[in-house]
Amino acid sequence: MKLSEAEIEQGLTKIDGWKREDGKWLVKKYRFPTFPEAITFVNEVAEASEQLNHHPFISIDYKMVTLRMTTWRDGGLTALDFQAAAAFDLVYTRDKVQ
């Protein structure tokens, strides 16, 4: 179910670095030291996306990966978008620790 404006604003406070664009997208850019590390991240995002059955748009620009999400069937942002954002951040954090 599409979230209300208040729910979206509250959700944004819980996911660091994610921005809202054009009212219906969650967007975040991740920078990596090397291209192979960026690709490893993208592959891990793909695995997490499959588990959630919710897939972001992914842009790879050398060492910068941009993720963009919305829930098409609900016409905007849903709890699943915020759940996926948190999962992708966890992948990023886990990769930095290893």
> Can you tell me the distance from the alpha carbon of 98 to that of 93, in angstroms, rounded to the nearest whole number?
9
Tell whether the model's pLDDT for residue 96 goes beyond 90. Answer: no
Identify residue 32 by its one-letter amino acid code. Answer: F
Task: Look up tokens 């850019």; give the residue.
Answer: 29
Nearest to 86 by CA among 48, 38, 43, 33: 48
Domain total of the chain? 1
> Can you tell me the distance from the alpha carbon of 32 to that of 71, in angstroms, rounded to the nearest whole number?
27
In this prediction, residue 94 carries a pLDDT of: 83
Say which CATH number the domain at 47 has: 3.30.1360.20
pLDDT in tens, 5-60: 999 999 999 999 999 999 899 999 999 999 999 999 999 999 999 999 999 999 99
Structural domain span for residue 51: 5-97
42 token code pair: 């993208």
Q: What are phi and psi of 17, to 5 degrees?
A: 85, -10
pLDDT in tens, 56-82: 999 999 999 999 999 999 999 999 999
Q: Are 25 and 68 in contact (CB under 8 A)?
A: yes
Tell whether the model's pLDDT for residue 89 goes beyond 70. Answer: yes
In this prediction, residue 98 carries a pLDDT of: 59
